[in-house]
Chain A
Amino acid sequence: MERITLFCFGASYAVALALELAQLLWPRAVQRLLAALFAGAGLLAHTLFLAVQRPPLRDPYGSLLFLAWILAVFYLYGSIHHRRVAWGIFVLPVLLGVIILAALSGRPFDNVSEGWNLFSLDAEALWRILHITFFILASVGICVAFVASVMYLVQARRLREKALPSQGLRLLSLERLEEMNRRAITWAFPLLTAGLLVGMVQMWYGGDGLHEWTDPRILATIILWLVFAIVLYLRYGYHLRGRRVALLTIMAFALLLLTLVTQHSFTAGGAR
């Protein structure tokens, strides 16, 4: 089990993506099935990797890998429920991108015991886990909103060009994609807010002073929160719909990536 590496599941997801791309050129039902099988094998290896090696979630490495794990579950769910839709073409690149970012961010030098051990948590650790969990769940929402937005833009482009429905990519309807985007950002925003608030409370009681507020990750998160607040305000206040909301969501996703790869200055280089 300890020999499972990031490459093992990353390669499985990459093969699944290659099969999804091949499906576009030479449509065969077996290819999509094989893609799901490879992704399933990757998810199993990914799960074992997280369970055995327990990378710390407060570092980009651990949080990105956990986010990737949820995206893998999301891909498998979608490929089962929307078998005829080119789901993997949109989800798997995001999933692989997150894994690559995790690899690039480098594995922290934490030992295993610094990971998750629910039975030996003090109050501070509990607050920290709550903060991270809210943030990762919000990240999942943003990723889903991003995937829905990209699919929306592609579908809108196909409709603008009046592409034949039976040819090329099979996608969900504009209505369904808009709904998926709406739900994802509506769920992500409160989670992001909660994550941010828990982080603030933690910092306040940690007594480390206000200098931590200029931490790059906190600043990036606050900007992300502001962008989301604007998206929601435009969505519900000004009834902004369609392509413009999709573009704003993509912008929010870019900010999320920035936030995820940025390490807290006060935790960089070791456990706090």
Chain B
Amino acid sequence: MMLLVVGCSHRTAPVELRERAAFDQDRLGHALDNLVARYGCEAVIVSTCNRVEFYLARPDALVALDAERIAEFLAEFHELSAAKLVPYLYEYRGPKAVGHLFRVAASLDSMIVGEGQIAGQVKRAYEVAHERGTVGPILHLLFQHAQQAAKRVRRETGIARGHASVSSAAVEYVRQVFDHFGGKTILVIGAGKMGELTLRHLRDLRPQGIWVTNRSAEKANAVAAACGGKALPWVQLDEALAKADIVLSTTGATEPIMTLERYEKIRARRSGPVVILDIAVPRDFDPRIHDGDRTCLFNIDDLKRIREQTLQDRLKHVPSAEAILADEERRFLKEWSRRKHGPVIARLTQDLEAKRQAIVQQLLARLNGRFTTQDRTYIEGAFRLLQNQFLHGPISALTEEAHESGSHTLLEALRKLFRLQD
């Protein structure tokens, strides 16, 4: 088997280059067809915002293919300069290519370690290639195994635990205060971009209602329409604050919109607790209103602390994830070796078995009558032992060589030495 990975990622190439080298869904199929037609190999292209990678495989050697050839292909396809692409490309062959795909699928090679999107993107890349008919037995087995390895890493380690974005971290604080969201109301103040992402996560909690207020009624209406909420006039802000359970504030105001004095009047009218997510910079709420009991106020720095902690925690799980992937890599190579060498080993064993039986029969026929039954059994056993010891060397060599790309040569040598026919 010859397996090759050539590509560029956020680790090796700037975003400007990755953008230009990426394949959209429409052109991906065309690129796959081109690759297969040109190089006669199996092919899968993983193209995301953080990486563009070519996975190529052939049962025999892929000697002619390397990073330079792929750079030429990319340059031709995207009308780029091949010479400018080459320095950003990396190349892995054989077991290293297997290990690389496993790390990518398990998101150990991602910008945010443990993020969940990449596993789906790898799966989608495989599915597109499969639909296009550019996947053969090698890449089929490889990608199936990569998906299993990624699942095992997520299941057996804490690599995907916690919230890795500021917007999702907000939900973690909200859940410390509230348990049920069916009867809760979210009040959105302002219409900042950051607020949109956070609101998306809050909407997943399925609140009873969403109110949106903004100094500009037009913007309030737009945000309310986008999230299925209700727009409120800016003058009703205090009234809404007295009733809302979760407040998301993202205005572009240069001064705090809610001073302590103003909020104290609202606090007196409130009955239940409130969580205020003030993700505006500069902040919209006076930090002194936070009491950790009836009013819980969290600003952008508090949410960033959760994100940083999550990322730190995830890094602690990288060694155990790497160990799982190393184990999965061994299992894949063993499985592949079994599939690839199985027929040759079976043929070799059958061949020697037939020869042994013929020689033993001949010997026993010539010496007929001189041996007891016990002697015959002993002679047959001795020949079988000789055959097994003879086969042990080549079979072990094949298994051991499975971790290296040279096993193909050994297989060919065995075929020639023992005159094994397909």
Min CB–CB distance B271 → chain A (angstroms): 6
Tell whether A166 pairs with B309 under 8 Å between CB atoms, given A155-B176, A172-B179: yes
Q: Interface with B: A213-221, A223-231, A239-247, which one?
A: A239-247
Interface string of B298-323 (1 = CB under 8 A from A): 10001001100110010000000000
Residue B166 interfacial (CB < 8 Å): no
Residues of A contacting B271 in the complex (Cβ-Cβ under 8 angstroms): 239, 241
User: Is B172 in contact with A165, judged by CB distance below 8 angstroms?
Assistant: yes
Tell me the bound Cα distance from A171 to B175 in angstroms. 11
**Residue in contact with A174 in the complex, picked from B162, B177, B302, CB distance below 8 Å:** B177
Chain B 160-204 interface 0/1 with A at a Cβ cutoff of 8 Å (1 = within) = 011000000000110111111000000000000000000000000
Is B1 in the interface zone, CB < 8 Å from A? Answer: no
Task: Write out the residue numbers on chain A whose beta carbons fall within 8 Å of the beta carbon of B179.
Answer: 172-173, 175-176, 179
Q: Does B292 reach chain A (CB closer than 8 Å)? A: yes
27 pairs of residues in contact across A and B, judged by CB atoms under 8 Å: A155-B176, A158-B292, A159-B292, A159-B293, A160-B290, A162-B292, A162-B298, A162-B302, A162-B305, A165-B172, A165-B176, A165-B306, A166-B172, A166-B306, A166-B310, A172-B179, A173-B175, A173-B176, A173-B178, A173-B179, A174-B176, A174-B178, A174-B273, A239-B271, A241-B271, A241-B272, A242-B273
Q: Is B150 an interface residue (CB 8 A)?
A: no
Cβ-defined contact, A164 with B306, below 8 A = yes
Contact B293 A165 (CB under 8 A): no
Q: Closest Cβ of chain A: how far from B182's Cβ, in Å?
A: 12
B187 to chain A, nearest CB (A): 18
Task: Determine the residue in chain A with the shortest Cβ distance to B309.
Answer: A164
**Known: A239-B271, A241-B294, A242-B273. Is A159-B176 also a contact (CB below 8 A)?**
yes
Is B98 interfacial (CB 8 A cutoff)?
no
> Across the two chains, which residue of chain A brings its CB closest to B175?
A173
Distance, CA A17 to CA B13, complexed state (A): 54
**Chain B residues with CB under 8 A of A179:** 179
Beta-carbon contact of A175 and B313 below 8 Å: no
Whether, in the assembled complex, A161 has its beta carbon less than 8 Å from a beta carbon of chain B, the answer is yes
Q: When each residue 113-147 of chain A gets 1 if its CB lies under 8 Å from chain B and 0 otherwise, what string results? A: 00000000000000000000000000000000000
Apart from A172-B179, A174-B178, A242-B293, what 4 extra A-B contacts exist at CB < 8 Å? A161-B292, A165-B173, A242-B273, A243-B293
Which residue of A155, A156, A166, A176 contacts B162 across the interface (Cβ within 8 Å)? A166
| A167 within 8 Å of B (CB atoms) | yes
Taking CB atoms, residues of chain A closer than 8 Å to B273 are: 174-175, 241-242
- B-to-A contact residues, CB < 8 Å: 161-162, 172-173, 175-180, 271-273, 290-294, 296, 298, 302, 305-306, 309-310, 313
Smallest CB gap from A165: residue in B: B172
Q: How near does chain A come to B12, taking the closest CB pair, in angstroms?
A: 32
Closest chain A residue to B172 by CB distance?
Answer: A165
B60 CB, min distance to chain A CBs, angstroms: 49
Most chain B Cβ neighbours within 10 Å, of A162, A167, A242:
A162
Which A residues are in CB contact (< 8 Å) with B296? 159
Is A28 interfacial (CB 8 A cutoff)? no
Considering the complex, give the chain B residue whose CB is closest to the CB of A176: B179
Q: Is the CB of A175 within 8 A of B178?
A: yes
Any chain B CB within 8 A of the CB of A157? yes
- B272 contacts A164, C-beta separation under 8 Å: no
Chain A residues with Cβ below 8 Å from B292 are 156-162
List residues of A (19-34) whose CB comes within 8 Å of B's CBs: none
Q: Determine whether the beta carbon of A166 is less than 8 Å from that of B313.
A: yes
In Å, the complex CA distance between A155 and B175 comes to 12
Establish whether residues A160 and B310, one from each chain, have CB atoms under 8 Å apart when the complex forms: no
Cα of A165 to Cα of B272 in the assembled complex, Å: 21
A159 to B296, CA, bound (A): 7
CB contacts (< 8 Å) of B294 on chain A: these are: 241-242
Least Cβ distance of A139 to chain B in Å? Answer: 27
Residue of A nearest to B313 (CB): A166
A172 contacts which chain B residues (CB < 8 A)?
A: 179
Interchain CB contact (< 8 A) of B177 among A164, A175, A241, A243: A175
On whether the beta carbons of A160 and B177 are closer than 8 Å, the reply is no
Task: Give the docked Cα–Cα distance between A195 and B52 (Å).
Answer: 75
Q: How far is the CB of A223 from chain B (nearest CB, A)?
A: 28
